[in-house]
Amino acid sequence: MIAMTLAAGCNTDEVLSVKDPDVVRPEALGDTASLPLFLSSAYAEVTAGYDGGTFEGIVNFSGLLSDEFIQTESFPTRFEVDTRNMLVGNSSLRDVFRELSRGRAAAERAARKFVELERPTLIGRAEALNLAGFAYILFGENYCSGVPFSTLNDDQTITYGAPQTTQQIFEIAIAKFDTAITVASALTTAKATAMVNLARVGRGRALVNLGRFADASTAVTAVPADFKFELQHSDNSARQNNGVWALSINGGRWGVAEREGVNGLPFRSSSDVRVASRPRSINNGNGFDGGPMFEALKYPARTTAITLADGVEAELIKAEAQLRAGDAGFVTRLNALRTNAAVLASRGYTGSLAGLTDPGSPAARQDLMFRERAYWLFLTSHRLGDMRRLVRQYGRGAESVFPTGSYLSNGRSTIYGTDTSFPIPVEELNNPDVPSDAPPNLKGCINRDA
């Protein structure tokens, strides 16, 4: 009777008017209260483009094109990547390009909103600028020269961007990091200090890619060796999972490679804790395709965070600058990292790594430097960029750096192609600034050079 009385007294219009607290309406995005929403969106989109969850992510695909991963399944689009012979219509590459583009666009939008809403000195602006800077670095390191960067305006119109050369992309990244440092340096919080160090590492990474090694070393001089900035994952949804875990341990689709295509590093047989792997823990040690595969243990769970930048990379940048200057002290710096208890503990490693000795010759020293980079920065989307730098900056032939010759993985066989970077997706031809009459071998790029 009470229930009937209450129901009779209700306004039916109010009963049918349901407020959804999970939906942010456009009119709610015009004041400063919306800034955390824009920043959260930037983090979510950049993370998805970085290592995926629903899609592969650039960490996964760069690992496949380089020598970190080998596929243990049967997707033809991924087979193209693994064998260095990609088509511009590759739908998996399209999805990764879109995710990374969404991350870049969301980060730039967030940074812009802090200015438009008259809060340019808040630390959130530095965070957004850093995220944008790293998105540009990932494009520059992994894609061919000629990536276009378009903007989705607030009125939903598109401002198309002209293709940018690889050098221009890294210069754009440096400008983002410079502004982030300016904003964060004016503040005294722990987060501000972290944002300054994050920008310093990003700036140093971009300068290395430009071949400005001394400047890169200077840029990261003040970064502590135990600094680490991670992007977080959760089990709230598949998109928020760690995408490397999803494809390796969970799906058994991509396994850790071993001396892939003659030139690949011995990631499995080296028994190095930094690149630890094991035969798949289920399915009799077999991958999705029924053949043997080795799981990447660096990311053991769907919630495992992934490093975007850290003090280890800063030390590696300094060491490479020493190498380029002919200073054999670069080995001493590498050994200091290998025995740094705080660094090792932050990565869950016990004990220390054995000391290195100077191999003497220039080529062997380069090999040592890039092996240490490959192991410390394993599965963080550095390896493909480093292999390209070995060609571009150290004068090595692509076929002496990249997997080459006969390809074989669990019964699939072919001959490796010649790709050293990802092409621009064919969908970008909708952009009037992207030339539609490029020769087929350029695959939508200005050039395909490393």
- Residues of the chain with pLDDT > 90, as a percent, come to 83
Give the confidence band of 429 by pLDDT, cuts at 50, 70, 90: confident
The domain 29-314+399-442 is placed in CATH, from the list 1.20.1250.20, 3.30.450.20, 3.40.50.1220, 1.25.40.390, at 1.25.40.390
Average pLDDT over residues 257-273: 97
pLDDT in tens, 30-85: 789 999 999 999 999 999 999 987 778 999 999 999 999 999 998 999 999 999 99
Q: pLDDT at position 47, please?
A: 97
Q: Does the pLDDT of residue 406 top 80, yes or no?
A: yes
Q: What are phi and psi of 432, to 5 degrees?
A: -65, -15
Residue with the two structure tokens 């660096």: 298
> Comparing C-alpha atoms, which of 75, 11, 114 is closest to residue 288?
75
Alpha-carbon gap, residue 95 to 297, rounded angstroms: 26
Give the confidence band of 149 by pLDDT, cuts at 50, 70, 90: very high
pLDDT in tens, 335-367: 999 999 999 998 888 888 999 999 999 999 999
158 against 25, higher pLDDT: 158
Alpha-carbon gap, residue 282 to 279, rounded angstroms: 9
Q: pLDDT at position 28, please?
A: 57
Q: Please count the other Cβ atoms lying within 10 Å of the Cβ belonging to residue 282.
A: 10
Average pLDDT over residues 19-25: 53
Average pLDDT over residues 399-413: 96
Give the confidence band of 154 by pLDDT, cuts at 50, 70, 90: confident
Q: Does the pLDDT of residue 16 top 70, yes or no?
A: no
Q: pLDDT at position 434, please?
A: 85
Residues in the chain: 450
* Averaged confidence pLDDT in the chain: 92
Q: Does the pLDDT of residue 11 top 70, yes or no?
A: no
> Comparing C-alpha atoms, which of 268, 248, 288, 281 is closest to residue 411?
288
Look up the pTM and report it.
0.92
> Comparing C-alpha atoms, which of 38, 43, 309 is closest to residue 194?
309
Contacts of 259-264 with C-beta under 8 Å, sequence gap 24+, read: 259/67, 260/67, 260/70, 260/403, 261/67, 261/402, 261/403, 261/404, 261/405, 261/407, 261/416, 262/403, 262/404, 262/405, 263/67, 263/399, 263/400, 263/401, 263/402, 263/403, 263/404, 264/67, 264/403
Q: What is the 3-state secondary structure (H, E, C) of the chain?
A: CHHHHHHHCCCHHHHHCCCCCCCCCHHHHCCHHHHHHHHHHHHHHHHHHHHCCCCCHHHHHHHHHCCCEEECCCCHHHHHHHCCCCCCCCHHHHHHHHHHHHHHHHHHHHHHHHHHCCCCCCHHHHHHHHHHHHHHHHHHHHECECEECCEECCCCCEECCCEECHHHHHHHHHHHHHHHHHHHHCCCCHHHHHHHHHHHHHHHHHHHHCCCHHHHHHHCCCCCCCCEEEECCCCCCHHHCCHHHHHHHHCCCEEECCCCCCCCCCCCCCCCHHHCEEECCCHHHECCCCCECEEECCCCCCCCCEEEEEHHHHHHHHHHHHHHCCCCCHHHHHHHHHCCHHHHHHCCCCCCCCCCCCCCCHHHHHHHHHHHHHHHCCCCCCHHHHHHHHHHCCCCCHHHCCCCCEEEECCEEEECCCCCCECCCHHHHHCCCCCCCCCHHHCCCCECCC
Q: Which two tokens stand for residue 93?
A: 């590459």
pLDDT in tens, 96-127: 999 999 999 999 999 999 999 999 999 999 99
CB of 249 within 8 A of CB of 240? no
pLDDT in tens, 227-248: 999 999 999 999 999 999 999 9
Q: pLDDT at position 30, please?
A: 73
Q: pLDDT at position 280, please?
A: 96
Q: Does the pLDDT of residue 4 top 50, yes or no?
A: no
Q: Does the pLDDT of residue 6 top 50, yes or no?
A: no
pLDDT in tens, 282-318: 999 999 999 999 999 999 999 999 999 999 999 999 9
Q: How far is CA 72 from CA 19, 51, 82, 403, 420, in A?
A: 47, 18, 10, 17, 21
